[in-house]
Amino acid sequence: MTYDEINSLLDFHYWARDRMLAALDLLTHEQFVEPVESSFKSIRDTAVHMMGAEAVWYSRWRGNPQGMLTAEGFCDVGSLRSAWRELESGVRAFFQELGSERIHTRIEYKSLKGDAHSSSFAQMLQHVVNHASYHRGQVTTMLRQIGAKPPESTDLINFYRIQERTRSTVSGRTA
């Protein structure tokens, strides 16, 4: 993947995150934390896992590995959003620092189990986006299970369509 393609994927990732968080804003605290059958025990736990996994990867990129976050540290969607936006700032800054010349640089790291690995930054970032997409699908299902409204479409093709319409509008054309 090229630098621009990875940047677009990063834009998609945070666009989809924001759509998911907008749906979570409509939940009561009880709905946010209530047990729902899925990979994690609640909508909050699933959303925090998504951000926590991204934070683990970011810490590896920065050479300061950390473990997973706990859901209990996030009492509401606002606290999750705030922490995730701060993380986004760091991820975007790191991506900018790498630049197009170094996005395929391999980074050595250890898994949470302690196994040694080496992957390119580009592969790791693609994994972060894919991992979040998987769990956003779970959040959508969990929202439906509790009778809540799911997020607006977070499909990648929908993101591309919206981007094209935005570019057309900015350039003076209509789509």
How many other C-beta atoms lie within 10 A of the C-beta of residue 69? 18
pLDDT at 172: 67
Q: Which percentage of the chain shows pLDDT scores above 70?
A: 97
Q: Is residue 175 part of a domain?
A: no
Q: Per the structure, how many domains does the chain have?
A: 1
Q: Is residue 46 part of a domain?
A: yes
91: closest CA among 119, 50, 42, 125?
Answer: 125
- What pTM was estimated for this model as a whole? 0.93
Q: How far apart are alpha carbons 138 and 90 in whole angstroms?
A: 26
Can you give the length of the chain in residues?
A: 175
Q: Is residue 24 part of a domain?
A: yes
> Residues 6 or more apart from 19 whose CB is under 8 A from it?
151, 152, 153, 154
Q: What is the DSSP string of 7-18?
A: HHHHHHHHHHHH
Q: How far apart are alpha carbons 64 and 72 in whole angstroms?
A: 23
Question: Domain with 76 in it: what CATH number?
Answer: 1.20.120.450
pLDDT at 175 over 50: no
Average pLDDT of the chain, as a whole number: 95
pLDDT at 37: 87
Q: Is residue 94 part of a domain?
A: yes
Residue 106 is part of which domain span? Answer: 3-170
26: closest CA among 117, 147, 116?
Answer: 147
